[in-house]
Chains A and B, each alone.
Chain A
Amino acid sequence: MNRFTMQRRIATALLLALSVGGVLILLDGHNPFEAYKVLFLESFLNYWGFSNTLVKASPMLLAGLAVIIPMRAGVFNIGGEGQIYIGGLFGAVFALAIPDLPGLLGVPLIFIAAAAGGAFWAAIPAYLKAYRGTNEVIVTLLMNFIAIHIVSYAVAGPLLAEGAPYPYSEEVSDAYRLPILMPQSDTHAGFVFGLGMTIILYFWLRFTPSGFQLDLVGRNVRAAAYAGVDQKKTIIRAMLIGGSLAGMAGAIEVIGLKYRLFHLFSDGYGYDGIVVAFLAALNPIVAPLTALFLAGLSAGAGTMQRAIGVDSSVIEVVEGLVVVFVAAALVTPRTTSKSILKLLAKNLRLRRQTQRQKKEA
């Protein structure tokens, strides 16, 4: 399939999704064309809208990478959300405990603390998977809930800011705040950091032996064993990298956007990461695009409500539809309409054969 058919398929998918959603927008009493104009213009082409898209895309990108890397080794990391929370917690605790370092030293250390937090949270399911064969999906999922409650406890208890009207911590010092890329907006350097990570991971997977090993273990455990790859180590390595990436996403939310650790500070970014990863077909270099797409959709959806007043429940439906249709378009189409006929014919033949065999038997 060439690139043009793929583009056409995605365009058709978007069109279909938006038409179905358009009916709902119409039912809600708004002009769907106007609504969609806002959705696209204001999420990508307008200065403020694009800045919002970038703000959302940075945690989504890192969370997506946090799914991609373990998945390449055959491990499903559903735990991005929990790793974001623990990463944010570690980063915030470090930033609040040692508030006086110069930014150039402090910020990298905060990132390291957050990465360590995320990696720690990923290490538990990684160990259980590698050495005890425990299913990683359930462990990471359970640990998400635990992480959210831990942060909730921390910001309502030991870290609670003086006189706060809501569970949140004190502010991190000015020196630790990520630089703002687009003046007057909140677009911090998080997305650029994510891009850097993307490139490093892309080259690591493609050109280094340890990167190959990852794919080898993910694709064919037996072949990997023949090649002398330590499967357990590879799984743990992949999960630790994934956890650190998600942990750093947490740090970005804390020192890039909110400047405090908040109760419920991540809005399901870990789960968005799963969508980002699979829309990118587990290729890190494509992840920034899919993260931007998903972030733009979400940012534009909010604008649809503010600019026109479309009911937020309708917007959720439209977002779901777009993800479904685009995901469907990205599936390599092996069964075209012509081949369906062929397939049916083959089926019939096969069924007759088996029936004959049964009779004979």
Chain B
Amino acid sequence: MQLKSKLLAGFAALMLAGPAAAEGIERAAIVMPGSISDNGWNQAGFEGLTKAGEALGFEAAFSESVHQPEQIEVLSDYARRGYDLVIGHGGEFQDAVERVAARFPETMFMVNNGLGTKDNIANADFYFSQIAYLMGYVAGSMSDTGTIGIIAAQQFKFTTDTVVGYEAGAKAANPDVRVLVTWTGDWDDITKGKEAALNQISQGADVLWPTMDSATLGSMQAVQEKGVYGIGIYRDAINEWPEILQSAILDVRGNMRSYLELAAAGKLEGALYRADMGNELAMRIGSFHPDIPVDVVDEVNNLIEAMKSGTLVVNPQ
């Protein structure tokens, strides 16, 4: 299946990459820290680039499971092979990209969830705390026990932003809510994900938001077994898990699509492309669970409007 799509991508690139694309990019590569079939961050990055490549007519390449010591090598190799746009998929690539970008001033670099732009380094990220606030609001409104949970892997800016936003949103819905936070230290260990969730449930949490990669599967397994509610991430997860109240669609594909369209038109600059609730292609909420009362749905929609108009500012920005 994959093979076919790879071949198709190749042919599509050959057919379409004509003079039309001469202005923008002809070849783009993405370098990912994990596996392209993790159902999460990495898979989203992989699909984001390959699908955009097919649609916009550039050749797309990828490297998966690239660990710390290889980052510089892999990024510079793509630049050397003449890729016009090289994407580091995750903040852990920021430092390596800065090193490599200085050596290849003609190549454009992008760091998804990066922090720090230069002439040929762009960043794309999400206003994490904003959407987390909405999830927290839903969770806080729907909790019967007054205890909700969030499970994350590692502590760094984007994950702590998410936790802080989630807590703030939950407190806005129910000032007495108790928010449990578990750090598992591992993005992909499914058993750990499950145990962390079971633990929060036994502490009384009845709405859980697992925010890891593969490990999320384990947490959702626990949510399903124990009959509590979950919150989804990256995509509208209610389609896979009926227990999902609402999903924070951090549409990595959509976000990438926005900047890749700019890139294809030759307009990508060394700037920060941050997706917020105003950019529906990249960041939006998913479907509401049928159990959610209408007034909560309305309140959430009002919050979104307030975010778009700027009257509600969630910190940290």
Contacts and interface: CB of A to CB of B under 8 A. Distances in A.
Given A48-B80, A156-B155, A262-B68, A166 B91 contact: yes
Given A48-B80, A166-B94, A258-B68, A306 B74 contact: yes
Interface stretch (A65-73, A89-97, A264-272): A264-272
Nearest to A161: B95
B93 to A, nearest CB: 8
A164 B95 CA distance: 9
B91 A165 contact: yes
A309 interface: yes
Interface in A26-49: 28-29, 48
Contacts of A260: 95
A178 B154 CA distance: 30
A121 interface: no
Contacts of B115: 163-165
A17 B171 CA distance: 60
Contacts of A156: 154-156
Contacts of B96: 258
A48 to B, nearest CB: 6
Interface string A260-294: 10111111010000000000000000000000000
A165 B91 CA distance: 5
Contact of A186 (B65, B72, B80): B72
Contacts of A166: 90-92, 94-95, 156
Given A48-B80, A165-B158, A257 B69 contact: yes
Contacts of A339: none
A202 B119 CA distance: 50
A275 B79 CA distance: 32
Given A29-B6, A29-B7, A167 B156 contact: yes
A59 B134 CA distance: 47
Contacts of A237: none
A156 B185 CA distance: 11
B56 to A, nearest CB: 19
A306 B92 CA distance: 20
A164 B81 contact: no
A87 interface: no
A311 B46 CA distance: 13
A264 B67 contact: yes
A173 interface: no
Given A29-B3, A29-B6, A306-B78, A267 B68 contact: yes
A262 B206 CA distance: 36
Contacts of A267: 67-70
Q: Tell me what chain B mostly uses at the interface: helix, strand, loop, or mixed.
A: helix
A253 interface: yes
Contacts of A164: 91, 94, 115, 156-157
Contacts of B154: 152, 156, 167, 263
B147 interface: no
A307 interface: yes
Contacts of B116: 163, 165
B54 interface: no
Interface string A139-157: 0000000000100100010
A165 B3 contact: no
Contacts of A302: 63, 66, 70, 73-74, 77
B103 interface: yes
A309 B67 contact: no
A244 interface: no
A305 interface: yes
Given A156-B154, A166-B91, A166-B156, A48 B77 contact: yes
B114 interface: yes
A56 B69 CA distance: 8
Given A48-B80, A52-B77, A186-B76, 9 more contacts: A59-B69, A156-B156, A184-B103, A258-B95, A263-B68, A263-B92, A265-B68, A302-B66, A309-B6
Interface of B: 2-3, 6-7, 29, 61, 63-70, 72-74, 76-78, 80-81, 90-92, 94-96, 99, 103, 111, 113-116, 154-158, 185
23 contacts: A29-B7, A56-B69, A149-B185, A165-B94, A165-B115, A165-B157, A165-B158, A166-B91, A253-B69, A257-B72, A259-B99, A260-B95, A265-B68, A266-B69, A267-B69, A302-B63, A303-B77, A305-B64, A306-B29, A306-B63, A306-B74, A312-B63, A312-B65
